[in-house]
């Protein structure tokens, strides 16, 4: 059932972000965002090499992959800036809601997907779910911005200190005071960037998807590498992942790449609007993992968000069975 791919994509994104969060408090969010790209490129390369290399590269696949990469990097940059000027709820809530709604609007208005009451309800419920999950009260945490979707982690266990004793301390990213003027526009820009990434991936021709995915991965990696080289200094991330932290972040990047593959399969089967609504509830996955592994207790708003996430998945499955 194709809808299962959307659910698994959300699980991949959420699990990858959870793993990134366990490392971010030790090595810093910028390091995590950069190291993640190694796992993304590795998985994309394996998928391409799993079949005979194409005699001719697909220009549309490479173009859409590049568009997706630029959108994802732009979204990350805007979100980092928004986090330095806005409250957590405004920066992440507004950007994630925009990421949820925009692909659905594009699909319904410009890609010819049928507008139905169920799809509208599904999108609105996904927006409510996202807002409940990102606006719950949190303990002090570290902000981590990774493609393809924004994620902010609260307190999580740290990887072995022996693996990363020489790693730079995490950079303070999150803004704690009142939101600055224009911060909402930065959050909106972040959401539009991530939405461009999702729409771009969905538009890669299915028969040439491995080529498009590799273009997305390589362009994202190169842009991140240039940014890291330009900010070389005491706080700059290491160029190569090291130790247990590096291995975990590379694995998280691989999860993101597989998540994109599943996202594409689902969008091709049940439509971009339905798929984007289901994938948008991925913040529920790290919370569930924290409940199961760390025995954390979410706030009432968090529990409500988890319940809404389950309802989104159920409605999505029901809609595809009609």
- The residue ranges of every structural domain in the chain are 3-158+181-321
pLDDT in tens, 94-105: 888 888 899 999
pLDDT in tens, 180-220: 667 778 889 989 999 999 999 999 999 999 999 999 999 99
Instruction: With a cut of 60, say whether residue 146 has pLDDT above it.
Output: no
Question: Rounded to two decimals, what is the model's pTM?
Answer: 0.85
Closest-CA residue to 97 (of 313, 318, 276, 322)? 276
Residue 258: what are its φ and ψ, rounded to 5°? -65, -35
Q: What is the pLDDT of residue 164?
A: 44
Alpha-carbon distance values, 8 to 11, 16, 212, 262, 312 (Å): 5, 12, 21, 7, 14
Q: What is the pLDDT of residue 255?
A: 94
Contact present, 304 and 128 (Cβ < 8 Å): no
Model confidence at 117, pLDDT cuts 50, 70, 90, reads very high
Q: What is the separation of C-alpha 230 from the centre of its chain, rounded to a whole number of angstroms?
A: 24
pLDDT in tens, 285-314: 877 877 888 777 778 888 898 899 999 999
What contacts 221, CB < 8 A, 6 or more positions away? 37, 38, 40, 41
What contacts 205, CB < 8 A, 6 or more positions away? 58, 60, 61, 64, 212
Model confidence at 158, pLDDT cuts 50, 70, 90, reads very low
153: three-class secondary structure by DSSP: strand
Closest-CA residue to 184 (of 319, 111, 91, 309)? 91
């Amino acid at each position: 059932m194709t809808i299962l791919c959307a659910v698994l994509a959300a699980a991949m994104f959420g699990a990858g972000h959870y793993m990134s969060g366990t490392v971010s408090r030790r090595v810093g969010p910028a390091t995590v965002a950069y190291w993640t790209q190694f796992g993304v490129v590795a998985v994309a390369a394996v998928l391409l090499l799993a079949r005979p290399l194409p005699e001719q590269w697909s220009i549309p696949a490479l173009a859409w992959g590049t568009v997706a990469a630029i959108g994802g990097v732009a979204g990350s940059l805007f979100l980092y800036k928004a986090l330095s000027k806005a409250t957590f709820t405004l920066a992440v809530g507004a950007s994630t809601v925009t990421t949820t709604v925009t692909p659905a609007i594009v699909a319904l208005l410009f890609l010819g997907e049928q507008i139905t009451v169920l799809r509208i309800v599904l999108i609105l419920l996904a927006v409510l779910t996202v807002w409940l999950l990102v606006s719950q009260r949190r303990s002090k945490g570290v902000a981590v911005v990774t493609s393809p979707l924004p994620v902010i982690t609260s307190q999580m266990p740290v990887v072995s200190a022996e693996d990363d004793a020489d790693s730079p301390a995490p950079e303070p990213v999150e803004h704690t005071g009142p939101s600055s003027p224009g911060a909402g526009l930065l959050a909106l820009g972040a959401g539009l960037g991530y939405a461009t990434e999702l729409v771009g991936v969905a538009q890669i021709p299915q028969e040439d998807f491995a080529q498009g995915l590799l273009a997305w991965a390589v362009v994202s990696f190169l842009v991140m590498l240039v940014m890291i080289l330009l900010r070389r200094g005491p706080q700059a991330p290491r160029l190569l992942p090291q130790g247990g932290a590096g291995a975990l972040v590379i694995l998280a990047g691989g999860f993101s790449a597989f998540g994109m593959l599943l996202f594409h399969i689902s969008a091709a089967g049940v439509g971009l609007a339905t798929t984007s609504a289901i994938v948008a509830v991925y913040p529920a996955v790290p919370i569930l993992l924290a409940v199961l592994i760390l025995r954390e207790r979410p706030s009432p708003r968090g529990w409500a968000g988890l319940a809404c996430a389950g309802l989104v998945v159920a409605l999505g499955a029901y809609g595809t069975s009609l």
